[in-house]
Amino acid sequence: MKTIEGSVNGSSKRFGLVVARFNHFVTEPLLDGAVAALKEHGVGDGDITVTRVPGTFELPPVAARLARSGRFDAIIALGAVIRGGTPHFDYVANEAAKGTAEVAMRTGLPVAFGILTCDTVEQAVERAGEGASNKGWEAALAALEMADLNSQLGAAGL
Ligand code: INI
């Protein structure tokens, strides 16, 4: 039996990050967590590119553009959708989930989903704290593992 599994070693891998500015008090800590995780796992500062967009709804098209550029091994999308009194939440959250998944499926490049969908500001802030409970950190770990898995699958001719 053969098992192929990615590791979280990011040396010589390049990552494109796209961050929503909406709810920046949550998304900037998510970005900090993601960048810290990448660097902790061997990614060079020059191999990290950060782009910012107005809101989570705008994440998928920019993720697609980064993915198609051929310059990255994985993309990390970071945003925070917090439920208000309007149906806007569902539209933004659904489109972001559908859109980022579609980018990954169409391009074959991993797109990590670091987008919080929370009922309250408190829940969002809780998920953007220091350390491994930070969802940006978690998304970066997924991107690292998937980037390495892709390399290994390629090396195995799969
Ligand atoms: N964008 C977010 O990133 N989070 C939200 O909670 C949010 N809400 O609730 O409205 C939000 N809206 C803006 C949206 O992402 C777009 O930027 C806007 O609709 C313009 O296209």
Are 10 and 42 within 8 A, CB to CB?
A: yes
Write out pLDDT tens, residues 88-103: 899 999 999 999 999 9
Q: Does the global pTM surpass 0.75?
A: yes
* Ligand 1 centroid to residue 33 C-alpha, Å: 22
DSSP H/E element including 15:
strand 15-20
Q: Is 24 a catalytic residue?
A: no
Write out pLDDT tens, residues 127-158: 999 988 999 999 999 999 999 999 999 999 99
What whole-number distance in Å separates Cα of residue 94 and Cα of residue 90?
Answer: 6
Q: Which of 53, 62, 78, 88 best tests ligand 1's pocket when mutated (most atoms within 8 Å of CB)? A: 88
What whole-number distance in Å separates Cα of residue 56 and Cα of residue 89?
Answer: 10
| 56 has a pLDDT exceeding 90 | yes
What whole-number distance in Å separates Cα of residue 96 and Cα of residue 116?
Answer: 10
